[in-house]
Amino acid sequence: QVQLVESGGGLVQAGGSLRLSCAASGRTFSSYAMGWFRQAPGKERDFVAAITWSGGGTYYADSVKARFTISRDNAKNTVYLQMNSLKPEDTAVYFCAASSGPYTSRWYKAPDSYDYWGQGTQVTVSS
């Protein structure tokens, strides 16, 4: 069992930055790949970024590539999402999620690939 708690959301002006954190409970955090998703009102939950258990592989949605960076610290049981050059269209509730596999083709994009989810943190970008 893994419990995930996101933090770091808030209100920021366009062009600004935020860093989201996702703290995980449990001693097996390092065995899970981790992902970030977001959901805007009235829309589906969309993939944002993912990272393999070792941190050696990262994946990004085209819409955030070169602006967002996912990282993890297995010693602290935490995964991060550094968000730069924020745009109003980045406004959403951001969720972190943990995946135990299997890691088939493009596994990171599918919400069904993830076993555990956090409660989400709101990010609002004003224009």
pLDDT of residue 27: 72
Per-residue pLDDT of 77-103, as tens digits, reads: 999 999 999 999 999 999 999 999 888
Q: What is the dihedral of CA 98, 102, 103, 109, to 10 degrees?
A: -60
DSSP sequence for 21-71: EEEE-STTGGGSEEEEEEE-TTS--EEEEEE-TTS--EEE-TTTTTTEEEE
- Band of the pLDDT at 52, cuts 50, 70, 90? very high
| Cα–Cα dist 36/48, whole Å | 5
Q: Give the Cβ contact number of residue 26 at 10 Å.
A: 15
